[in-house]
Amino acid sequence: MVKDSAKSPPAASRNILRLSLFLFLLFFVNLLMGKCNIVYKWSLPHLDGVAEFLLLGVASTTLIWAALKREGTENERNNQRAKEA
């Protein structure tokens, strides 16, 4: 049986963090595509206005969600250790 170390984040938190990283990456790629469209007069497809804002909002929300989930798990571990001691 493998125990989670105190330093490693829980699996659920890691998955949410990966989702957040993917969404931020998608946002920045979209931002670069829009900039290339303006500067080089390309016609690459990208999200405009509200969709770009919503993407950034969801990416930020998932990052906060991952942080709160990790903190909650760490608090549970600390409470369990305090009860054992």
pLDDT score recorded for residue 1: 45
32 occurs within a structural domain: yes
For residue 10, the tally of other CB atoms under 10 A from its CB is: 17
Confirm whether 58 is domain-assigned.
Answer: yes
The pLDDT of residue 71: 93
Residue 80 lies in a domain: yes
Residue 13 pLDDT:
86
* Domain extent at residue 77: 11-84
For the chain, residues with pLDDT lower than 50 are 1-2
pTM recorded for the entire structure: 0.82
Structural domain includes residue 25: yes
- Domains identified in the chain, total number: 1
Instruction: Give a yes or no: residue 69 inside a domain.
Output: yes
b/e map of 26-60 (b: 16 or more CB within 10 Å)?
A: ebeebeeebeeeeeeeeeeebbeeeeeeebbebbe
